[in-house]
């Protein structure tokens, strides 16, 4: 459902429109309001609300509104008519009425129906849906239609499509700016939804860190690791239903250099594996692409030297893989050295696959397969693994330097090479998530 309201009022009805706007100022503040010139100026003066001014009704403002109804931009139209002018404006009003009828858009022509419409909108939440149309292997048109079908009866959706030349973080920041401009007038009924893979969700989350604005997640990627880690359903229908419950929780976030990190950073083996599993491979094989890429990388992985700095103390290792996790599902096996990655403890979980040798032998590679199996088991039973080839610890800040420099993957995207500094941001992100998830502390339920 669109998030714009259109206002028109004849001269004899402008006082009633001003009173109506003042009465429902909080509700109108949650929407983008457009109005014919004179009506809009008076509403703006009476309420202080930002109003998009279009032409006056005499100069075709009603035609502009009709066009926007056809374009799918209007949630409802409030046209307070002078009963003595109905014969004069009959053609214009009938034309708008016809279009509203065709496109199923409510049209109020008197105070009673206008009050009823605005009372209905009072009960609705407003969400900015940032939708990645190229994520995953599904049909994006069908996915979006299902999202609208489930959410729009209760939520006004402003759909924003990601584009190759735009960063989803910037798109989310624009949505947040719209929310924050009105926040002094509204409660926390406005929020943001991200629909795509882990990369899209991480980029949108980047804009939301520290704002307190809730993030809804509708996963449609290949791995959907963040959703799995937080117990958020990976099916579109179930994820939408989770958002509709209104249950929220607060979890940690992190930054790796200047990049947001809600999941984990992988250095060495994991970064090389992700690079091997390119978009074409993921489209063809789905999650299996990571397994095949990992098997190939295990045969070729080389050791590297790392310096790990924590609180000014530096430790050196020879290793083939290193993972620093804020949150991780059991399938992110290289993050599971401590048995359970807790997403709201204010700490990062560090797992390093160390070696006493300077190069990987065949027996080392076979041992790595055995260790990976044990890591997966430790995640399932939530018990730390004890193994001489693993160094595992928790910290709130870590700096890593590697020789030679190693590729770094953050939340499924290659961001460059070492060195990196990763800092945990405690309680950085508010999410819609099931209350049954034992890993998160419930925060509150949205009205």
pLDDT number for residue 359: 57
Where does residue 155 fall: left (phi above 0), alpha (psi -120 to 50 degrees), or beta otherwise?
Answer: beta
Asked whether residue 372 falls in the same domain as residue 330, the answer is yes
Asked whether residue 158 falls in the same domain as residue 104, the answer is no
Q: How far apart are CA 133 and CA 140, in angstroms?
A: 5
Q: Average pLDDT over the chain, rounded to whole?
A: 83
Range of the domain at 215: 125-252+430-445
Neighbours of 58 (CB within 10 A): 10
Asked whether residue 302 falls in the same domain as residue 336, the answer is yes
Asked whether residue 191 falls in the same domain as residue 248, the answer is yes
Question: Residue 174 has which token pair?
Answer: 């624009």
Q: CA-CA-CA-CA torsion for 388, 394, 400, 406, nearest 10 degrees? A: 60
Residues 215, 175 contacting (CB under 8 angstroms):
no
Asked whether residue 413 falls in the same domain as residue 434, the answer is no
CATH number of the domain enclosing 182: 3.40.50.10330
Return phi, psi of residue 121, to 5°: -70, -25
CATH number of the domain enclosing 84: 3.40.50.1380
Task: Answer with the one of 122, 149, 184 that is the final residue of a domain.
Answer: 122
Indicate the pLDDT class of residue 258, thresholds 50, 70 and 90: confident
Residues 348, 324 contacting (CB under 8 angstroms):
yes
| C-alpha triplet 205, 208, 214: angle, nearest 5° | 95
Give pTM, 2 decimals.
0.70
Asked whether residue 218 falls in the same domain as residue 177, the answer is yes
Span 53-108, pLDDT tens digits: 999 988 999 999 999 999 888 989 999 998 888 777 778 888 999 999 998 899 99
Asked whether residue 75 falls in the same domain as residue 156, the answer is no
Name the least confident of 13-17, 52-56, 236-240, 388-392. Answer: 388-392
Asked whether residue 299 falls in the same domain as residue 414, the answer is yes
Asked whether residue 210 falls in the same domain as residue 166, the answer is yes
Q: How many domains does the chain have?
A: 3
Asked whether residue 78 falls in the same domain as residue 145, the answer is no
Q: How far apart are CA 3 and CA 237, in angstroms?
A: 22
Q: Which residues are catalytic?
A: 62
Residues 111, 117 contacting (CB under 8 angstroms):
no
pLDDT number for residue 374: 47
Task: Answer with the one of 69, 102, 122 that is the final residue of a domain.
Answer: 122
CATH number of the domain enclosing 417: 2.60.200.40
Span 376-416, pLDDT tens digits: 455 444 656 666 678 889 999 999 999 999 989 898 888 99
| C-alpha triplet 51, 57, 58: angle, nearest 5° | 140
Q: How far apart are CA 11 and CA 22, in angstroms?
A: 18
Q: Give which of 128, 127, 129, 125 is closest to 140, Cα–Cα.
A: 129
Q: How far apart are CA 394 and CA 398, in angstroms?
A: 10
Asked whether residue 369 falls in the same domain as residue 351, the answer is yes
pLDDT at 45 over 90: yes
177, burial (CB in 10 Å: exposed 0-12, middle 13-18, buried 19+): exposed
Asked whether residue 28 falls in the same domain as residue 61, the answer is yes
């Amino acid at each position: 459902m669109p998030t714009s309201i259109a206002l028109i009022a004849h001269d004899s009805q402008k006082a009633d429109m001003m009173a109506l706007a003042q009465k429902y100022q909080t509700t109108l503040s949650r929407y983008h309001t457009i109005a014919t010139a004179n009506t809009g100026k008076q509403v703006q003066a009476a309420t202080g609300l930002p109003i998009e001014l279009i032409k006056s009704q005499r100069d075709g403002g009603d035609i502009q509104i009709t066009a926007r109804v056809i374009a799918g931009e209007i949630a409802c139209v409030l046209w307070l008519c002078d009963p003595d002018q109905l014969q004069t404006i009959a053609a214009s009003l009938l034309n708008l009425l016809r279009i509203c009828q065709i496109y199923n858009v409510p049209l109020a022509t008197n105070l009673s129906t206008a009050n009823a419409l605005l009372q209905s909108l009072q009960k609705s939440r407003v969400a900015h849906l940032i939708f990645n149309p190229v994520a995953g292997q599904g049909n994006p048109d069908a996915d979006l239609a299902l999202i609208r079908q489930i959410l729009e009866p209760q939520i006004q959706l402003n759909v924003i499509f990601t584009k190759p030349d735009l960063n989803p973080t910037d798109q989310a920041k624009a949505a947040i700016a719209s929310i924050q401009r009105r926040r002094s007038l509204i409660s926390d009924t406005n929020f943001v939804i991200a629909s795509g893979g882990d990369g899209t969700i991480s980029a949108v989350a980047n804009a939301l860190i520290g704002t307190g604005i809730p993030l809804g997640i509708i996963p449609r990627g290949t791995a959907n690791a963040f959703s799995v880690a937080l117990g958020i359903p990976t099916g579109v229908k179930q994820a939408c239903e989770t958002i509709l419950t209104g249950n929220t929780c607060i979890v940690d976030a992190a930054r790796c250099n200047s990049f947001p990190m809600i999941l984990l950073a992988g250095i060495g083996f994991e970064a090389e594996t992700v690079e091997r599993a390119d978009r074409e491979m993921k489209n063809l094989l789905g999650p299996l692409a990571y397994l095949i890429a990992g098997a190939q990388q295990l045969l070729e992985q080389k050791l590297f030297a790392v310096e790990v700095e924590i609180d000014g103390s530096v430790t050196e290792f020879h290793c083939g893989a290193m993972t620093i996790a804020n949150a991780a599902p059991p399938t992110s096996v290289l993050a599971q050295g401590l048995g359970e990655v807790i997403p709201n403890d204010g700490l990062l979980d560090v797992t390093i696959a160390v070696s006493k040798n300077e190069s990987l032998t065949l027996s080392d590679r076979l041992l790595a397969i055995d260790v990976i199996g044990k890591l997966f088991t430790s995640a399932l039973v939530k018990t730390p693994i004890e193994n001489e080839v693993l160094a595992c610890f928790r910290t709130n800040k870590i700096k890593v330097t590697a020789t030679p420099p190693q590729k770094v993957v953050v939340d499924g995207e290659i961001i460059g090479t070492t060195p990196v500094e990763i800092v945990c941001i405690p309680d950085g992100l508010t999410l819609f998530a099931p209350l049954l998830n034992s890993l998160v502390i419930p925060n509150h339920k949205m009205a």
